[in-house]
A and B are shown apart, each in its own frame.
Chain A
Amino acid sequence: MKRDYSVQGLVSFTAEGKSSLLDRFLQGWDIELRGLESAGGDNPDLAVTIGRFTPDHKDCTILDDDYCIRDSYLHCREDRHSYATWQLQICGLEQGGTRVDVSPNALGKTLIPELVVNPLIWYKLNVKGYPVVHGSAVSRDGKGYVFAGRGASGKSIIALGLVERGFQLVSDHFVILSDDEVLSLAVPFHIMDFNLVPLLRENMKMKHRALFLSRQLSRRLMGRRIATKILSGDILPQALLADRARLRSVFLLLPRGELRVERIDREEMVKHLVANQKLEFVPFIKYMMEYAYLRPESDVATYWSRYEDNLKRALKCTEDFYKVEVPLRQDERTLGAIAELLVRS
């Protein structure tokens, strides 16, 4: 079944694939994308199809025996991530209507949205001048505060803690920056035992609770953490959500010992954010590198310098950049201190 999606009206795409029983247990292979569903339009920027496909190797060059590449085209014969495997073909990589075919095994399918589709969305947004930052954002009185950080840096916990203190949630996990605004990028919360904050626990519906418990059970049985994915609109009341805000401050969260706040300049912040996003692009960055190896002058090869330029431009509207060392475990005291800091700024 083919669905249409739109990211803030900036990038549109379609995705098509069948759901199996396993996918259903994992909330459907497209759960990551569901928050972006919208009415269809013409000429999507990106069309993703999950299923068998026949690669076209005409005029291609073979790299690493796994990749066939020509202008604007890449085919990866086999890629894997533990037991998940897939092959993939990207047509029109450097053009408007990019077409992506992915043929994964049963486990691979559920990873495709995160490992392939998300990076392509960020890629398209960046090409259009809107850099995506790995972080969460809240707002109050129309002013937006971004908390950027790597995994386990407490960006979600801090954002949600602030929502409990009267802020609105703009976005969790990823935010889009435009000229002077921070826009939400609707991916679901990934709820696990360690980030189940009271605000989420209290608002969970019965079916979410059941899902969460089944995942707790699977963790006991298989020793593997599986996130319960819930869209912010399905769990939080609309009044607590905002779609966008004027960018006021960016906080980079680095977990260490005590709470410590240091003001940094824009250039420094941009460098942190570029490395943050590069880490987020692994393993997709591998495809970009294979392509860049053959086409070192292409848009793909110069992607990161354009990302840096876009960030610099998007962050021009403020001077409010902080490096925040947070404790390894966020507690109420840290949250309170950060909330106070925001109010003061």
Chain B
Amino acid sequence: MRQVLSYNIHDVVRFQIHRDRGLDYWDLVDLKFSPFRTESVDSPDVVLNIGKFAPSNAGCYVIDHNYHIRDNYFYCRDSEGKASWEAEIAGFDHGDTTINFNPSVRLSMQPASLLYTPLFLPQAFLLRIIESKLITKGRFLAHAGAVARDNQAYVLSGRAGCFKTTLCMEFVRAGFTWLGDDRVILGGDEVMGFPTNPAMFAFMLRHLQDETQWGLLRQLQFYAQCVAGGDGRKRRTAAESARLKAVLLIAKSAGSDREVTFSAVPQSRLDQTVERLIVSARLEDFKGLAHFGIRSGPFLKYMLAYAYVFPNSLVATQEREAAENLRNTLRDVPMYDVLIPRKYGRHVFERIHDFIDRECGS
């Protein structure tokens, strides 16, 4: 029995996930894209099929023994760590896209691989395709959090471990609205929400002071609540948008200094800031699945292999287009480098909050 889930991201990108009924146990916890869930969508930009499929990979170039590539098409069998999978992407470069993803679930000493191979991996690939779609539609899926007040959005960008989620939680407690703590969509003069895993965020908001307390015990408690029908079911956090007010580029200092320092990034460094945001999104190819032992950046390799065969394709030139979109969005927007101490303390949030009030007005 197949199940069809439909999603609409701000009327910009629409997609569907088709999967076997047996996989819906994951909804207890949450689907990454649940805030965008809708009854149905017409002519989706992307369809993700999870389950067995028969690849139609005739007439392909074979790159590195493994990547089957022809115009607008990609297929491979791949594995890393405890996960192995078979993926076919028709419409890899342009037009509507269909992803066929077959997780091969092996019995292993790590029961978690039963969960992440059929669920996280295809979602991660789907996210990359959504990222491409957004670029062709003039937007950019940034690896950043964002909060808003009075329709003014503040983007908090930074690599993993710089307390984006904690800061978002603090801002929400202080009355801001949440647009996302890991990804947001930038485009035009606005920030569109991309609140992934809202149930998890809601749980953390209620129970944790900061993300360092997100230990095993708390996680078990979270899953228990989900199964009991608590937080996990409330997954329709509104995804909204707001005008882009300022961008904070947060990084953590290795020193023992406890201070938070701010420095304005001049518009003359717009190109470099754009470069940083693009590199950060790309680094997620290595970091995004690292928890699951997948660190070699499989999707980045797929895209590079495609760009190698078709160097004039959209896939190959996408980064330039993304840079153009971002330049337009960030032009004349105040940007700040924020250096925070290695150990999180509440004063970090307070300093940033004060800074926003003072520098950016309200």
- CB neighbours (8 Å) of A60 from chain B are 253-255
Contact B311–A275 (Cβ < 8 Å): yes
- CB neighbours (8 Å) of A68 from chain B are 254
Residue of A nearest to B64 (CB): A151
Complex Cα spacing A286 to B288, Å: 13
Complex Cα spacing A254 to B251, Å: 43
- CB neighbours (8 Å) of A63 from chain B are 159-162, 251-252
Say yes or no: is A219 at the interface (Cβ < 8 Å to chain B).
no
Interface centre among B60, B255, B304 (most CB of A within 10 A): B304
- CB neighbours (8 Å) of A274 from chain B are 311
Interface centre among A68, A80, A279 (most CB of B within 10 A): A279
Residue of B nearest to A283 (CB): B296
| Binary interface encoding of chain B residues 133-172 relative to chain A, with 1 for a CB under 8 A from any of its CBs, else 0 | 0000000000000000000000000011110000000000
Q: Which of B271, B280, B296 contacts A293 (CB 8 A)?
A: B280
Complex Cα spacing A338 to B294, Å: 40
Say yes or no: is B106 at the interface (Cβ < 8 Å to chain A).
no
Contact B59–A62 (Cβ < 8 Å): no
Say yes or no: is A290 at the interface (Cβ < 8 Å to chain B).
yes
Question: Whole-angstrom distance from the CB of A62 to the nearest CB of chain B?
Answer: 4
Contact B279–A61 (Cβ < 8 Å): no
Question: Whole-angstrom distance from the CB of A278 to the nearest CB of chain B?
Answer: 5
Complex Cα spacing A290 to B297, Å: 14
Contact B62–A255 (Cβ < 8 Å): yes
| Binary interface encoding of chain B residues 253-271 relative to chain A, with 1 for a CB under 8 A from any of its CBs, else 0 | 1110000000000000001
Question: Whole-angstrom distance from the CB of A66 to the nearest CB of chain B?
Answer: 8
- Majority SS at the chain A contact face: mixed
Question: Whole-angstrom distance from the CB of A266 to the nearest CB of chain B?
Answer: 12
Contact B161–A62 (Cβ < 8 Å): yes
Contact A272–B61 (Cβ < 8 Å): no
- Give me the interface of A with B, judged by CB distance under 8 Å: 57-65, 68, 79-82, 150-153, 254-257, 268, 271-272, 274-276, 278-279, 282-283, 286, 289-290, 292-294, 296-297, 301, 325, 328
8 A-B pairs closest in CB distance: A271-B311, A275-B308, A65-B161, A60-B254, A296-B272, A296-B275, A57-B254, A63-B159
- Give me the interface of B with A, judged by CB distance under 8 Å: 59-65, 80-81, 159-162, 251-255, 271-273, 275-276, 279-280, 282-283, 286-287, 295-297, 300-301, 304-305, 307-309, 311-312, 316, 339, 342
